[in-house]
Amino acid sequence: MGDLSSRDRSGPLSGDTCAEISVMSTPVDRWSTRARSGAKPNRCRSDQFWACNDQKSAEIRGGGGEEDFDSVDAKRAFVISEKYGDDYYEEYAVNEISDVSEKRFPKAIIVGVRKCGTRALLQFCGLHPQIVHAEREIHFFNDRANFYKGTTWYRQQMPFSLPNQITMEKTPAYFTSPDAPKRLKDLMRKDKIILVVRDPVDRIVSSWAQILENRVKKGLPPPNHTLEDKILNKAGRVNRREKSVRTSTYLKSYRQWYKLFKGRILVIDANELVDTPWKSVEKVETFLELPHLVNQSEFYFNSTRGFYCMNNGKGPGRPKCLNKSKGREHPPVSDKLRRKLKDFFFFYNKQFFQKIGTDFGWNH
């Protein structure tokens, strides 16, 4: 093996080069020796970097001609390998990439709102090479038991990342939690907050649809009450204390977040996320000060599902749609209930739009 110190470490590698090398890495037997010599336990094996994050896995060794490459990553891997040699990227991957790939605290958190497309936005943002995200909801800032496990536990729930990447997590329950805003502010002083919202009436109906579906999955009979029974009180008015109504009254919860994170909150319209997801991702890229790399070509419209899916899911050429539970068909809602809900939310929507400086048209 050549002398890396003289041949290949004459100058710093760019972030792009590091990213390219990280996807090229192949299993190296020397890793086991390195691990026994004291590698940090929260570091990700360089040759398994993308596998550890369960994303962006790619075939990295193409054939001899350019036409054999089935992905951009494969072509980059070949170019870097040809330039520096196979020995270089194997040695560099083990001794360098493993030193910088680690679990980091998130710099952006999707705090809500439940049933507004938070999972979709998280997955779509994951198309950006400089964004990695936790796959599950962490419930750190809203759950007392999790919160008292401490910040070390919280960081361990995050994916491995490189220094030039932003870690993201999403837990919609944060939005309505009375404790989450201050806890997050105290511990993550520079974090940016992302919020996805939709027409409150549609959100309530979507939540009800999930309740019905979950009962079917559990083998339980349908509830003995209707959505109208659930939402309206005995006087026939909207019950403002009902949980789904409180969650859909965005203004109250938003005020708490705005007070602590003014200037660091991005609000995404769920309708835009459904109709033109690349535009929503572009807003996130701008908000996080990242280059605009995700565009319309990353998506295709799935006529069967009725919404956009990703052309590349967990690897190039592997289309991926969200779970079948996403975009489920909504149960019918009476015109009477819909009208009462529209009237109830009119004032709250108007105040919310004034607060965020954008009108999403829910009152029209």
Q: Is 206 labelled as part of a ligand binding site?
A: yes
Region class of 115: left (phi > 0), else alpha (psi between -120 and 50), else beta? left
Binding residue per annotation — 88? no
The answer to whether 170 is a known ligand-binding residue is no
Q: Does the annotation list 236 as a binding residue?
A: no
Any known ligand binding at 44? no
Q: How far apart are CA 63 and CA 238, in angstroms?
A: 65
Taking CA atoms, 271 is separated from 114, 158, 200, in Å, by 15, 29, 12
Q: Is 150 known to sit in a ligand binding site?
A: no
325 labelled ligand-binding: no
Answer yes or no: are the C-beta atoms of 106 and 188 closer than 8 Å: yes
Annotated ligand binding at 324? The verdict is no
For residues 314 and 54, the answer to whether their CB atoms sit within 8 Å is yes
Is 98 annotated to bind ligand? no
103: its two tokens = 């679990």
Are the beta carbons of 279 and 296 closer than 8 angstroms?
no
- Give me the residues paired with residue 155 across strands: none
Residues annotated catalytic, as ranges: 115
Binding residue per annotation — 43?
no
Q: Is 112 annotated for ligand binding?
A: no
Strands 307-310 vs 192-197: parallel, antiparallel or unpaired: unpaired
Q: At what angle do helices 277-287 and 118-125 cross, to 10 degrees?
A: 70
Residue ranges of the binding site: 115-119, 198, 206, 308, 326-330
Residue ranges of the binding site for 3'-phosphoadenylyl sulfate: 115-119, 198, 206, 308, 326-330
